[in-house]
């Protein structure tokens, strides 16, 4: 059955109330409308370049109706007003702002509005605060029973993380992982307070618990290889510090061990980063001719990015360990400790040439500059007289750096400088070990023996 729509059509010359088939294309009755409203002839300005005059129907708001659509599909109702005009004179569609629609679009585009993600973060944060409060109360009454209870609670919380992850509850998994980490830190600190090993051991215990907690969380929540292996290296450094402190060495000699270990680890870090991210396996597959080229290329770039990130994390951790240990040795102030700090700074500056990333080079140069500055300050503060020699050393460094900024060496000079730096880099680890031996007063003991 044919459906009709009663509309008012207006042209430049006439206006008519007509009944138009609602389900027929507009092109089918547009010529009859043009003849009815005397729009068959065109003025010169309405004639386009190709000589074909096109008529269109528009609504009262300026919306142009598609000629292939129907009135019903264009949502034209009975009694609506339509305009029959030349295509060249059709007005642009006006911009009509709806406040409620604008508010809705703004809410969709804004990221600072309170949402379910913010609520989830708030729940995790409140859970962590409550766990920290409970852990603080437990550490105030440190004993073997409370330490074991808190440690067991940490293991239970970590054990529930995979269950929550498999059930599709990431918020619960994150909260449980955070609770387990806080309880683990509290258990280690409570155990250390129970033994009363001193603040260096407590600091190492807290660092060890925190880094181990981060490793467990990274492994359970599958954050990737970079945080996992970075946390393992940090746990190793903190564990070495804690073991040295618990063995009765004191914070200064523990710092010496930490500085030497971090400096000696620097040459091995690039190989470890490539090995742990799987680059060697890809190279073996390429040599064996196995695997699709496209898959190998995607895996290669993914592993390469992870290797760069892991190497940067490794270098930053070793740099932080050298910096912290160097400051402890400078505060201690023994002669061999200062020699060890100087050797560490020189080793870090020379090793910076082998790392590609800017953040890695900046971290190692920062260690070298901090070591030199702390030595100059300690030298200046130790003497009551005016610090003439430290001032001369600072002036020499100042003019040397200014000369480097003004002087552009030739390729031959750069090659010679590189050879000299290579030789010094080989000798730097040899200077670390005698200085570390001097920190432990072994030379004085040998002199007493012989």
Does the pLDDT value for residue 294 go beyond 50? no
Of 181-195, 203-217, 288-302, which one has max mean pLDDT? Answer: 181-195
pLDDT of 178 reads: 82
The pLDDT tens digits for 74-104 are 888 887 888 887 776 666 555 555 556 666 6
pLDDT of 184 reads: 80
pLDDT of 292 reads: 45
The pLDDT tens digits for 176-208 are 888 888 888 787 777 767 666 566 666 776 777
Beta bridge partners of 18: 7
| Separation of alpha carbons 72 and 126, rounded Å | 56
Does the pLDDT value for residue 44 go beyond 70? no
What is the DSSP code string of 32-97?
HHHHHTT-SS--GGGS-TTS---EEEEETT-PBPPTTS-TTTTTPPTT-EEEEEEGGGPPPPP---
- Numbered ranges of CATH 3.10.20.90 in the chain: 4-41+51-89
H or E stretch covering 10: strand 4-10
Mean pLDDT of 164-186: 82
CA dihedral 318→250→213→264, nearest 10 degrees, is: 20
Sheet holding 55-59, edge to edge: 15-21, 4-10, 81-86, 55-59
The pLDDT tens digits for 233-262 are 888 888 888 788 777 777 788 888 889 889
Mean pLDDT of 389-409: 69
Q: Quote the longest CA-to-CA distance of the chain.
A: 127
Q: In CATH, what is the architecture of 4-41+51-89? A: Roll (3.10)
| Separation of alpha carbons 87 and 118, rounded Å | 52
Contact by Cβ (8 Å): 376, 394: yes
pLDDT of 283 reads: 64
The answer to pTM > 0.85 is no
Based on the number of CB atoms within 10 Å of its own CB, is 189 exposed (0-12), middle (13-18) or buried (19 or more)? buried
| Separation of alpha carbons 70 and 284, rounded Å | 66
Q: How far is CA 26 from CA 18, 22, 85, in A?
A: 14, 9, 14
């Amino acid at each position: 059955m044919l459906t009709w729509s009663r509309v008012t059509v207006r042209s430049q010359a006439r206006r008519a109330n007509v009944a138009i088939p609602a389900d027929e294309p507009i092109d089918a009755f547009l010529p009859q409308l043009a003849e009815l409203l005397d729009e068959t002839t065109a003025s010169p300005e309405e004639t386009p370049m190709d000589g074909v005059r096109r008529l269109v129907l528009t609504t009262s708001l300026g919306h142009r109706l598609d000629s292939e659509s129907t009135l019903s599909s264009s949502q034209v109702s009975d009694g609506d007003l339509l305009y029959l005009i030349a295509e060249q004179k059709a007005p642009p569609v006006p911009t009509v702002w709806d406040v409620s629609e604008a508010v809705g679009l703004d809410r969709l585009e804004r990221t600072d509005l309170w949402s379910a993600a913010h609520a989830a973060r708030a729940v995790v944060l409140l859970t962590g605060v409550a766990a920290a409060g409970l852990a603080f109360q437990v550490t105030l009454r440190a004993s073997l029973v409370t330490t074991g209870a808190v440690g067991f609670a940490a293991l239970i919380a970590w054990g529930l993380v995979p269950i929550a992850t498999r059930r599709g509850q990431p918020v619960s998994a994150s909260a449980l992982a955070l609770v387990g980490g806080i309880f683990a830190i509290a258990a280690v600190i409570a155990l250390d307070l129970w033994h009363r090993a001193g603040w260096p051991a407590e600091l190492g215990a807290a660092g060890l618990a925190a880094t181990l907690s981060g490793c467990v969380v990274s492994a359970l929540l599958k954050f990737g290889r970079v945080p996992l292996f970075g946390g393992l290296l940090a746990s190793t450094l903190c564990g070495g510090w804690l073991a040295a402190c618990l063995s009765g060495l004191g914070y200064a000699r523990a710092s010496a061990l930490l500085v030497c270990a971090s400096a000696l680890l620097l040459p091995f870090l690039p190989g470890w980063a490539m090995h742990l991210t799987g680059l060697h396996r890809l190279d073996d597959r390429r040599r064996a001719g196995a695997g699709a080229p496209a898959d190998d290329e995607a895996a290669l770039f993914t592993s390469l990015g992870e290797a760069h990130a892991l190497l940067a994390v490794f270098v930053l951790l070793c740099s932080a360990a050298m910096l912290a240990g160097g400051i402890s040795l400078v505060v201690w102030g023994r002669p061999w400790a200062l020699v060890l700090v100087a050797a560490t700074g020189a080793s870090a500056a020379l090793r910076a040439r082998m790392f590609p990333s800017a953040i890695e080079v900046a971290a190692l140069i920062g260690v070298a500059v901090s070591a030199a500055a702390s030595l100059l300050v300690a030298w200046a503060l130790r003497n009551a007289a005016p610090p003439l020699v430290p001032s001369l050393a600072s002036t020499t460094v100042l003019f040397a750096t200014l000369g480097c900024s003004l002087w552009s060496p030739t390729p031959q000079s750069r090659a010679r400088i590189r050879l000299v730096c290579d030789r010094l880099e080989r000798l730097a680890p040899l200077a670390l070990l005698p200085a570390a031996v001097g920190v432990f007063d072994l030379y004085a003991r040998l002199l007493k023996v012989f």
